[in-house]
């Protein structure tokens, strides 16, 4: 993940500060970033992205629910789950769906590593 290969990324998090910080970080790396406060807002638009950075706990549809819908879709968009609550249940849920999960706060290296892992693990269509 470098400036030579900019990606289209989406950040879905109900916390405006997190959305803004993650979008700024990824934009500074040269990526094109769209932000959404909910799963419903993300799904309401026709957005084609290389990876979605997705909060586990969202109002309305949860991050895990959106992740499942994305996995069943024709594009099979890679997902990185993020959470402010790294409790055992959350960690087990992420492991069960075989999706990278990082706990807030995280640094650029953890985020970029998780994005790379999600893309590498995504089924090829």
Residue-wise pLDDT tens digits, 16-60: 999 999 999 999 999 999 999 999 999 999 889 999 999 999 999
Q: How far apart are the first and last CA of the chain?
A: 21
Return the pLDDT at 3. 47
Question: Domain of 64: which CATH number?
Answer: 3.40.50.2300
Q: Look up tokens 């959305």; give the residue.
A: 19
Q: How deeply is 64 buried, as exposed, middle or buried, from its count of CB atoms within 10 A (0-12, 13-18, 19+)? A: buried
Q: Which two tokens stand for residue 81?
A: 């789950």
pLDDT of 119 strictly over 70: yes
Q: Is residue 38 part of a domain?
A: yes
Q: Is residue 125 part of a domain?
A: no
Return the pLDDT at 87. 64
Domain range for 27 is: 8-120
Return the pLDDT at 106. 92
Q: Is residue 3 part of a domain?
A: no
Tell me the residue ranges of DSSP E strands in the chain. Answer: 8-12, 32-36, 51-55, 79-83, 101-103
As for how many domains the chain has, the answer is 1
Q: What is the pTM of this model?
A: 0.89
Higher pLDDT, 63 or 122: 63
Q: Is residue 2 part of a domain?
A: no
Q: Is residue 82 part of a domain?
A: yes
pLDDT category of residue 71 using cuts at 50, 70 and 90: confident
Return the pLDDT at 94. 59
pLDDT category of residue 125 using cuts at 50, 70 and 90: low
**3-state class (DSSP) for residue 72:** helix
Quote the mean pLDDT of the chain.
88
Q: Which two tokens stand for residue 99?
A: 């999706």
How far, in Å, CA of 71 to CA of 69, rounded? 5
pLDDT of 92 strictly over 50: yes
Q: Is residue 54 part of a domain?
A: yes
Q: Is residue 75 part of a domain?
A: yes
Element (H, E) at 115: helix 108-121
């Amino acid at each position: 993940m470098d400036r030579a290969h900019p990606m289209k990324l989406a950040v879905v998090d109900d916390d405006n500060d997190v959305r803004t910080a993650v979008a700024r970080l990824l934009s500074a790396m040269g990526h094109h970033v769209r932000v959404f406060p909910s799963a419903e807002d993300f799904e309401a638009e026709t957005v084609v992205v290389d990876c979605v950075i997705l909060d586990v706990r969202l109002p309305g549809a949860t991050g895990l629910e959106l992740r499942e819908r994305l996995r069943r879709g024709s594009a099979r968009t890679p997902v990185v789950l993020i959470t402010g609550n790294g409790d055992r249940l959350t960690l087990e849920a992420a492991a069960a769906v075989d999706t990278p999960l990082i706990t807030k706060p995280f640094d650029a290296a953890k985020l970029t590593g998780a994005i790379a892992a999600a893309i590498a693990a995504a089924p090829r269509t």
